[in-house]
Amino acid sequence: MNHVFKALSDPTRRRVLQLLRERPMQSGELADQFPVSKPTMSAHFAVLQEAGLIEAEKSGRTILYRLKMSVLEDALLSFAQTVGWEIKPIKRKRSVAGEA
Amino acid sequence: MTSAVLGDAVLLAGVILVVSLVAPLAAAFGLADGDFSDRAVMVITGAFFTVTGNALPKTLAPLSGHGNPAASQACRRITGWIWVLSGLGVTGAALLLPLDSAEPAAFALMAIGVFATLVLMVRMRRLRQQGA
């Protein structure tokens, strides 16, 4: 479930899921909707796949993504979208040698 | 079907059978009243609907076999939601309503869920035929 929360914590990934709610889409078609580089989008797709929220199917030279969300995950997505849920990385203090 | 999915299905079926058998037996031996056994069976039925409906949109068919993948996906999502809401309704009715009202309410909710699923299946079949 941790993977699901992590996947839903990012607005870009939530937008990807919302687009896939309408219909299965090709990776390029999805990437064109966002002002980020393709490697960044690939990383987002990997996180969503790891969480089991989407599934990729190869069709010739293209990859087709589609939704693979349970009803609970679907409800969590709607909730996260409504409250603007975002998990920010914890800032860790750098320990400087000799400081202690 | 993966072994994990099969294992979950067998476990759920086992729980339903055990509760359905143990609850009336407990009532017969005076360990619980008749209401308890009826309510327990309704709760487990509601849980079955909820668990099955929740997992339904996760079961995917190969895209190549579908004329209209968007419609197929939408049907699975809607059916899943209908089953989950019906299941929660049945469980809620079993736990909160008086038994006289709980039984017809639970039956009505399950009938609505099954009817809505049948309507969606017919619609899906038509869309698939149109896409083929």
A91: left (phi over 0), alpha (psi -120 to 50) or beta: beta
Q: Are A5 and A83 in contact (CB under 8 A)?
A: no
Do residues A30 and A16 make contact, with C-beta atoms less than 8 angstroms apart? yes
In this complex, the residue of A24, A72, A74 whose CB is nearest that of residue B77 is A74
pTM of the model: 0.79
Q: State pLDDT tens for residues A13-48.
A: 999 999 999 888 998 888 888 898 888 999 999 999
Please give the Cα distance from B47 to B28 (Å, whole number).
24
To the nearest whole Å, the CA of A61 is away from the closest chain B CA by 15
The predicted complex's ipTM stands at: 0.77
* CB of A56 less than 8 A from some CB of B: no
Q: Is residue B63 over pLDDT 70? A: no
Residue from the list B55, B57, B63 with its beta carbon closest to the beta carbon of A57: B63
Q: CA of A59 to nearest chain B CA: how many angstroms apart?
A: 9
Q: How do residues B64-113 score in pLDDT, each as one tens digit?
A: 655 678 888 888 889 899 999 999 999 999 999 998 888 899 889 989 98
Dist. CA A46–CA A58, nearest whole Å: 15
In terms of Cβ atoms closer than 10 Å to its own Cβ (0-12, 13-18, 19+), residue A15 is: middle
